[in-house]
């Protein structure tokens, strides 16, 4: 009796080169860690009474999870094999809201470099389909960095002042930046 199912009948063609599969799988881990990191920050902000900031970070953590899923689904759709590994433990303690957003910006700059590296590997490997697909992330990173910089600008303006209004209004920045991005896109 055959106990194991035979998956060799898969109709998917292997359209993905090893180099592309590897770098996209590495990005799954990075997007997963982004989600984890922002969740840890959200939890810290929540526990310290920053309801608005935690809402922003919880939403961001969800967004990062959808980014990770996009990579998982794309790799499998193109006949590659997406792998899900263990994630590094993010920090549990932060010194301030400003420190959190400095870390967010640094992290997003690292992700931007990582996405650019994917584009470079696509060009080397002449995988123009993946290069075209990953363009969504190239644009997304412009927004991610802009969001973090806008928030840091607000925090610099506040200086040592009260964070009450910042925490109350932070979610409106998400909408404002989305509108700015849309208008920038429609002008190109």
Q: Using CB under 6 A as the criterion, which residues of the chain lie in contact with ligand OFO when the complex forms?
A: 31, 34, 64, 67, 108, 111, 140, 144
Of 78 and 107, CB closest to ligand OFO: 107
Contact 39, 61 (CB under 8 A): yes
Q: How many whole angstroms separate alpha carbon 70 and alpha carbon 72?
A: 6
What's the half-sphere exposure (Cβ side, CA atoms, 13 Å) at 26?
A: 11
Q: DSSP state, 126? A: T
Q: Which residue is nearest to ligand OFO (CB)?
A: 34
Of 34 and 130, CB closest to ligand OFO: 34
To the nearest whole angstrom, how small is the minimum distance from the Cβ of residue 86 to ligand OFO? Answer: 18
Q: How many whole angstroms separate alpha carbon 71 and alpha carbon 40?
A: 22
To the nearest whole angstrom, how small is the minimum distance from the Cβ of residue 11 to ligand OFO? Answer: 31
Structure tokens at 20: 């592309």
To the nearest whole angstrom, how small is the minimum distance from the Cβ of residue 51 to ligand OFO? Answer: 22
Of 27 and 163, CB closest to ligand OFO: 27
Of 45 and 163, CB closest to ligand OFO: 45
* DSSP structure string for 91-123: PS--S-HHHHHHHHHHHHHHHHHHHHHHHHHHH
Of 34 and 53, CB closest to ligand OFO: 34
Q: How many whole angstroms separate alpha carbon 142 and alpha carbon 147?
A: 9
To the nearest whole angstrom, how small is the minimum distance from the Cβ of residue 25 to ligand OFO? Answer: 15
To the nearest whole angstrom, how small is the minimum distance from the Cβ of residue 108 to ligand OFO? Answer: 5
């Amino acid at each position: 009796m055959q106990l194991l199912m035979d998956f060799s009948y898969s109709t998917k063609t292997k359209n993905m080169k090893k180099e592309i599969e590897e770098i996209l799988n590495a990005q799954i881990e990075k997007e997963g860690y982004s989600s984890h990191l922002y969740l840890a920050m959200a939890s810290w902000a929540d526990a310290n009474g920053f309801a608005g900031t935690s809402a922003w970070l919880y939403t961001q953590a969800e967004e990062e999870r959808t980014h990770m899923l996009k990579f998982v689904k794309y790799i499998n759709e193109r006949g590659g094999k997406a792998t899900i590994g263990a994630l590094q433990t993010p920090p549990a303690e932060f010194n301030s809201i400003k420190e959190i957003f400095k870390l967010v910006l640094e992290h997003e700059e690292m992700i931007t470099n990582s996405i650019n590296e994917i584009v470079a590997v696509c060009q080397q490997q002449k995988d123009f389909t993946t290069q075209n697909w990953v363009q969504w992330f190239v644009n997304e990173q412009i927004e991610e960095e802009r969001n973090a910089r806008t928030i840091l600008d607000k925090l610099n303006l506040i200086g040592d002042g009260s964070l009450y209004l910042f925490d109350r209004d932070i979610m409106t920045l998400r909408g404002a930046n989305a509108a700015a991005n849309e208008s920038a896109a429609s002008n190109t």
